[in-house]
Amino acid sequence: MDPYSRETAVILTHPIGEDDLLYNGLQGEGIDVIRDPMINTEQINLSKEELEVVFNSRRIIFTSKRGVEYFLNQVKPADILDKNFICIGKKTAQILEKTGIKAWWVSNGRTASDLVEELHEVHIPKNEKWVGLLGELAENTLESGLQDICEYKRFNIYKTITAEKRHEKTEALLKAKRPMLVVCTSPSCFNGFMDIYGDLIHEEVGFASIGPTTTKSMKKLEITPVVIARLSTYEGLWQEMKLQLKPDYQ
């Protein structure tokens, strides 16, 4: 499809909070936005044994805001003041800061691979116990990348629930072959959309990808995104989407 315009319907496939940058930005530009989340998350409660491992660990890694939120639902801040927290992204670290806890390390990168590269450049005492609190769908990048610098243990702190029903408006627009941009902020969002609507995809449907991992999932199905964020963040994706607008819209 061509770059999208005011006439293009935009489908947001991620769970949307009150301060969602993509939703608020698109709404502010007068673009027709449909909220059709393909995934949601649900807290996984850590067992007593798992919490004991966490309390006995030196450093705790978070790769997402939800990971921090679900962990803080299960512990008291006073019980973890002696820990060093490692976060991917400033917004993940900000959730910690709201409780008065400052992150020891905030990755300049956007992925687990970026974090691994950074930590290999830091002098860290051998045999420290570290814990990663991740979503169950996260790959084992940290486990394989950190095994030579610490004793790393992973616990899943939330699970992903995939949508099963079609959104009435999304389905109607697809059947009408209306120009559409489907915005995907994770492989799960993209795969969920294709599972539900794959048989309705037509040439006027384009996809926007937040970054390399999501783009890789798209290319597995021989789909090339029309918009790819240069920085794998909501801000980066929003900026790239604005750059792709047709000249008569800008």
Spatial neighbors of 168 by CB under 8 A, at least 6 apart, are none
CA distance 237 to 230: 7
Give the number of C-alpha atoms closer than 13 A to the C-alpha of residue 235, restricted to the C-beta side: 5
Spatial neighbors of 242 by CB under 8 A, at least 6 apart, are 25
pLDDT computed for residue 246 by the predictor: 56
CA distance 217 to 168: 25
User: What is the residue whose two structure tokens read 């084992």?
Assistant: 140
pLDDT computed for residue 3 by the predictor: 58
User: What is the residue whose two structure tokens read 């090339």?
Assistant: 224
Q: Would you call 154 exposed, middle or buried from its count of C-beta atoms within 10 A (0-12, 13-18, 19+)? A: middle
Domains of the chain are: 9-38+163-243 (3.40.50.10090), 41-160 (3.40.50.10090)
CA distance 228 to 226: 7
* pTM exceeds 0.85 for this model: no
Mean pLDDT per block of 10 residues along the chain (250 residues) reads 72 88 88 92 96 97 94 93 93 91 90 92 88 93 93 95 94 95 95 96 95 94 94 88 64
Q: Provide the residue type at 22 as one letter.
A: L
pLDDT computed for residue 250 by the predictor: 45
Give the number of C-alpha atoms closer than 13 A to the C-alpha of residue 38, restricted to the C-beta side: 20
Spatial neighbors of 156 by CB under 8 A, at least 6 apart, are 44, 133, 134, 135, 136
Q: Token pair of 60, please?
A: 């705790």
pLDDT computed for residue 231 by the predictor: 85
pLDDT computed for residue 6 by the predictor: 65
